[in-house]
Structure 1
Amino acid sequence: MKKTTIKKWSKRISLSLLLLSIIAYFYVDYQINHLWGSHTQVVDSTQFNVPQQDTAIVHVNVLQTDGKQMVANQTVIIKKGVITAVGTEIKLDKTLTIIDGTGKYLIPGLTDSHIHLWQSSNDLLLYIANGVTQIRELNGSLEHLKWREEIKAGRVGPKMFVASSRINSNGIISAWFQKWAMKITSINSFNSADSVVQKFVHQGYDAIKTYTFINNKDYWALSQATKKAATPLLGHTPINMKLEEVWRSNQKELDHIEELVKALIREFGGYNDNNADEFLKFVQSRSNVIANNLVRHKIAFVSTLWLTENFVRQKQDLDKILKQVKLAYVNPGIAELSPLTSRAMGWLPDANIYRLPDSISVRQKKRTVSFWRTYAKAHQILLKAMVIKQVIILAGTDANVPVAVPGFSLHDELISLSKSGMSNSQALLSASRAPAQWMKQKSGMIKSGYRADLVLLDKNPLINIANSKSIDTVIANGKVFHRKTLDAMLAAVKQANDRSRSVEIDEYKNQ
């Protein structure tokens, strides 16, 4: 064969390989964005825009600032997005729009302290429709920062706190892949902790998030870098780190009770069917010491309890829980199976990472269910100790992780907290006053001078915490959204999801 012919075919093969690589890259990139929810039809939220209005809510029962009781027959005045007066003998001027609160209950707008929007902007409407007027995105992106600024400028949505993307330790190739596919930032020889922190602070993130697979050396470098930059460090703890080391770090927020449980499992040496009761006794014996350390070192905790309790339920009977949650409102890209992997972070049976395989034996299933039931009980033991010792607890859901539906799941979380050691009052405060104070905001209480984020309920949540769902009106930064508008938001998201589905979910729909 002539050299010119060989050269010609070499060029053709090289160009073909290059073309195939480009096609493959864009295909994979498309699927990655799809599984994070970006290809779902976006609702035009401008249809729900309303201006701030000066408002008086009259004859209403108002939650006291300490959260312990409702004060009857109150008037609350709102002007330019701020509460200006709360009391009984308040003169109403003619410019105020009147809302009759007779027989209703006014609480602060709720905060979900641990959510994931991924690339699902419709979720912003779900939060408002559920009385969640502030969210804390704990795997942030530049897109989330953009949404945060748009909401400040008037877009309908909750106030946003945005932490950085998750930070692990990875080599160069692994770092590139995880950044692309999993939205994870890596520390390595080419990307120091100082440079990572400086970049995120410059971009405007509210905090830096550390993740599970950061090594101890990089964790301490990150701790020092965030201390130097005077920016909060929050998130997970390194998989091999002892709690005594965490207490000494600059990390002042742990974003799951699970971080404690995993550390205790390591201390105990693991557990199974044979020693589960001994493990729970060990957790009980350590719980007060841990709670005291959290108080001493001023470390806050995000709960995500309901999600943990539902790990075992997804393993026992996934279909049952999918019928119980509001699956119709979950972004279908997030819920469905991705062609890239047999099990991603999907929700449906063919995509759900928590579902046990059909081939598992009865004995294996029993042992697995027993393990995760014990795991949840350990969380409940620690929560009770933290409540007694007055640890700062922030209600959070890990929304968009199966089966935590954005907005709706915070009400489920409050019920779990109430069942596991908190009073109804304490549960409400964990989703209102506590996160506001933790973030040093003038919100989370119904008090003059505070941001007008409020929820008007038909039923008293102090009697039954599930009454937090009985929403009549939501006020976000002085903007009033009545029930009719809230229902329209929900309907719009559901319709957008239905138009975007690849898999029908009629058997699971729960209106």
Structure 2
Amino acid sequence: MKPCLLLLALLLGFGHYTRAQLLLKDATIIDGDATVSPRKGSLLIRAGMIEKVIYDGTVPDEKLTVIDCTGQFITPGLMDAHVHLGTLNMNDQKGIHLKTDSILQNMLRHGITSVRDMAGDAIFLAEYKRKIATGQLAGPDIFYAAQFAGPGYFAMMQMGSRKDNDLGTTPWYRAITPEADLRLAIAEAKGAGASGIKVYADLTKKQIAAITKAAHAQGIQVWSHGTVFPAKPADGVAAGVNSLSHAADLCFQQMKGDTLGFHEAWQQLYKKGFTLDTTVQVKLLQGMQQKGIFLDPTIFHASNNKMWNALTITRIAHRVGVKVVTGTDWIYPEKNEAVPLQSEMELLISKCGFSAAEAIESATINSATVTGLHDRGLVRAGKRADLLVTNADPYTNIATLFTPAMVIKRGKVLR
């Protein structure tokens, strides 16, 4: 770190540092769109937004706080598009708040400025969303889902480790029967602050289509599991959901029949001799590409569980032009330790054929877009100033994104 920036970091610590007008001068700017080549330039930030990207070397003739970024790189802030922050034991409020505070601060320290939470306690998540948005707490912005599933799924959860009395009966954990008033259920999910509906399990092809249509009519995203037993992956594609999660789930498309039994399907997948039919995958993924459906492959999660087909499916998705987002579905550390998003991006590059530019695109503009956000994810005028400044080129070593010299969130230098 340069001496001036080191001094700045020491003065700021990890608190908020407000500047109405800030010029990040003479950096290499990585736009976030993989098709845009990096260029030397400067950023004018005002009121938390990027007001201007300056590529001709001119400096505005006004009083500004100037940070010299010569030799450094600027990228959009990163996003983990599949986390679970609100699934802890809610009976220990003090303990879960201490734990979550540490997790969120560590995320931000490692360059993660937004997250998509894929189902949890909405009261808990809304509290954190508000505290972060109002500057009471340092952390990434949180956008979360309401989980829709059939009553059989919630009954199964009650018989297992989850003993919550309200499973399936709240706006954020909703049991959907064939007679359910979907318009009302979706309105209540929105009222609880959800940005999307997570279509999860124990739902038919007809129900997925109805949920998707009703949600889109109310301007809310639909994020589906790759396989929603008994429905198959192609049923989510046909419904026009916004994303499918877990590349490994797409294996189930090749199994016989129009519907799937949960236990039978998993037994067949793990049975010795299962061979992925890539012709089935190509057809399925081409359908996703044509409809603009994002893939949330969670390959770090899959690799840790020896579901190696997820890597092949993600590689095919990339080849046929499916937009991929970076979600981990993994536990985040509380201390200043490496975060799983780094491993997810490294696997995209090393195992799935992505360039560093494409992995960055997945973790920025793609992950923002799938969440329904159009105000971030690119280093362009009119976008939020959620930015990373790094000392080394992320195109050469993606890991440098996770040890940023500066994290800037809504125009505030945080470290």
Equivalent residue number for residue 467 of structure 1: 400
What does residue range 46-195 of structure 1 map to in structure 2 within 5 Å?
48-64=15-31, 66-68=33-35, 71-86=38-53, 87-93=55-61, 95-118=63-86, 119=96, 120-140=100-120, 141-155=122-136, 156-170=138-152, 177=163, 180=166, 184-188=173-177, 192-195=181-184
Equivalent residue number for residue 388 of structure 1: 319
Give how far 1:221 is off.
4.2
2:368 touches 2:376 (CA, 8 Å); kept in 1? yes
Q: How far apart, in 2, do the equivalents of 1:233 and 1:115 lie?
A: 16
Q: How far apart, in 2, do the equivalents of 1:179 and 1:52 lie?
A: 47
Q: 1:258 to 1:106 in 2, by over 3 A?
A: same
Greater Rg by CA: 1
Query: What letter corresponds to residue 390 of structure 2 in structure 1?
Result: L
Q: How far apart, in 1, do the equivalents of 2:295 and 2:133 lie?
A: 27
Q: How far apart, in 1, do the equivalents of 2:324 and 2:178 lie?
A: 36
What does residue range 288-299 of structure 1 map to in structure 2 within 5 Å?
288-299=282-293
Give how far 1:473 is off.
0.3
1:259 aligns with 2:259: no
Equivalent residue number for residue 329 of structure 2: 398
Q: 1:188 to 1:107 in 2, by over 3 A?
A: same
User: What secondary structure does 1:428 align onto?
Assistant: helix
Q: How far apart, in 1, do the equivalents of 2:155 and 2:361 lie?
A: 45
Q: How far apart, in 2, do the equivalents of 1:407 and 1:231 lie?
A: 33
TM value normalised by structure 1: 0.65
Structure 2 runs not aligned, ≥5 long = 1-12, 87-95
Q: How far apart, in 1, do the equivalents of 2:333 and 2:52 lie?
A: 42
1:457 aligns with 2:412: no
Q: Which moved more, 1:100-109 or 1:194-203?
A: 194-203
1:211 aligns with 2:200: yes
Q: 1:128 to 1:435 in 2, by over 3 A?
A: same
Structure 1 runs not aligned, ≥5 long = 1-45, 312-371, 483-511
Q: How far apart, in 2, do the equivalents of 1:412 and 1:457 lie?
A: 18
Query: What letter corresponds to residue 72 of structure 2 in structure 1?
Result: K
Q: 1:430 to 1:178 in 2, by over 3 A?
A: same
Query: What letter corresponds to residue 159 of structure 1 in structure 2?
Result: D
User: What secondary structure does 1:235 align onto?
Assistant: strand
Q: How far apart, in 2, do the equivalents of 1:407 and 1:192 lie?
A: 44
Percent identity of equivalent pairs = 21
Q: 1:399 to 1:50 in 2, by over 3 A?
A: farther
Q: 1:421 to 1:125 in 2, by over 3 A?
A: same
CA deviations over 1:95-151 (Å, ceiling 9, x no partner): 322222122111111111111112524322122111111111111412212222222
Q: How far apart, in 1, do the equivalents of 2:124 and 2:193 lie?
A: 12
Match of 2:223 among 234, 237, 240: 234
Q: How far apart, in 2, do the equivalents of 1:429 and 1:446 lie?
A: 11
Equivalent residue number for residue 8 of structure 2: none
Q: How far apart, in 2, do the equivalents of 1:192 and 1:172 lie?
A: 18
CA deviations over 1:131-176 (Å, ceiling 9, x no partner): 1111111114122122222222223222222211453423997787
Query: How big is the alpha-carbon RMSD for the aligned residues of Structure 1 and Structure 2?
Result: 3.1
Equivalent residue number for residue 426 of structure 1: 358
Give the total of aligned pairs.
Answer: 369
Q: Which moved more, 1:129-138 or 1:187-196?
A: 187-196
User: What secondary structure does 2:239 align onto?
Assistant: coil
Q: 1:402 to 1:256 in 2, by over 3 A?
A: farther
Query: What letter corresponds to residue 300 of structure 1 in structure 2?
Result: F
1:433 touches 1:443 (CA, 8 Å); kept in 2? yes
User: What secondary structure does 1:399 align onto?
Assistant: coil
User: What secondary structure does 1:387 align onto?
Assistant: helix
Match of 2:302 among 308, 312, 316: 308
CA deviations over 1:17-50 (Å, ceiling 9, x no partner): xxxxxxxxxxxxxxxxxxxxxxxxxxxxx98233
1:243 aligns with 2:233: yes
CA deviations over 1:380-419 (Å, ceiling 9, x no partner): 111111111111111111132899x998111111101111
2:153 touches 2:201 (CA, 8 Å); kept in 1? no
Match of 1:275 among 263, 268, 273: 273
CA deviations over 1:288-345 (Å, ceiling 9, x no partner): 212211012221111211111112xxxxxxxxxxxxxxxxxxxxxxxxxxxxxxxxxx
Q: How far apart, in 1, do the equivalents of 2:213 and 2:240 lie?
A: 7
Query: What letter corresponds to residue 145 of structure 1 in structure 2?
Result: A
Give how far 1:251 is off.
1.9
1:123 touches 1:406 (CA, 8 Å); kept in 2? no
2:16 touches 2:413 (CA, 8 Å); kept in 1? no
Q: 1:402 to 1:306 in 2, by over 3 A?
A: farther
Q: How far apart, in 2, do the equivalents of 1:174 and 1:445 lie?
A: 42
Q: How far apart, in 2, do the equivalents of 1:170 and 1:65 lie?
A: 42
Give how far 1:249 is off.
1.3
Q: 1:181 to 1:203 in 2, by over 3 A?
A: closer
Give how far 1:465 is off.
1.9
Q: 1:178 to 1:190 in 2, by over 3 A?
A: farther
Greater helix proportion: 1
User: What secondary structure does 2:384 align onto?
Assistant: coil
Q: 1:217 to 1:74 in 2, by over 3 A?
A: closer
Query: What letter corresponds to residue 110 of structure 1 in structure 2?
Result: L
Q: 1:79 to 1:266 in 2, by over 3 A?
A: farther
Q: 1:247 to 1:399 in 2, by over 3 A?
A: same
What does residue range 483-502 of structure 1 map to in structure 2 within 5 Å?
none
Give how far 1:273 is off.
6.5
